[in-house]
Amino acid sequence: MVFVGGCIQELPNIGIYRSLSTIATSGGSAKDVQYVTQMTDKEIAVWGFLDHDNISFQNATFNLNRYKNEGAGKGVYVRLSGEKNSYVSLLEKLQALEETPPVKILVIGVLRTYKQAYNFGSDVGIYLEVKNPKNIKIIKQQDADY
């Protein structure tokens, strides 16, 4: 997180990749509902931090967190679709990465939404669908400010 004057600031873009912190809240709900509504079922480029505790071979998914110290299960999941052989090696590579230093993941994928229900209402949940593992880039950070 970047703190400026006691407030949490959105993280900067990296080239064409928009920070996940600009579109998602903790738990994978839409933060920028207008943007999410406009971009649903369209390809977007985002970046976030790998959630090492949420890599699933069975579901062909992994989670991206908004911030490097956000904690397990609080991010947006990335669903890999297509031939299983095309993404197994990517999941193996992600699983083999160490948690420190933080690992940034750059993703180009289709933004999908779903109704995210909770006790007294619902939100718009989001996830990314990636059909080609080449649309996922791994950046190991040495010392990140965020």
Token representation of residue 59: 């579901």
Q: Say if residue 105's pLDDT is above 90.
A: yes
pLDDT of residue 7: 47
Tell me whether the omega of the peptide bond preceding residue 101 falls within 30 degrees of 0, making it cis.
yes
CB-CB neighbours of 97 under 10 Å? 14
- Residue 123's pLDDT band, with cuts at 50, 70 and 90, is confident
Map out the domains of the chain with their CATH numbers: 11-140 (2.40.50.140)
Count CA atoms closer than 13 A to 3's CA, side-chain side: 2
pLDDT tens by residue, 2-32:
433 344 556 677 888 999 999 998 888 899 8
d(CA 36, CA 143): 31
C-alpha distances (whole Å) from 117 to each of 19, 78, 92, 121, 125 are 25, 19, 32, 6, 9
pTM tops 0.75: yes
pLDDT of residue 68: 86
Average pLDDT (67-88) is: 88
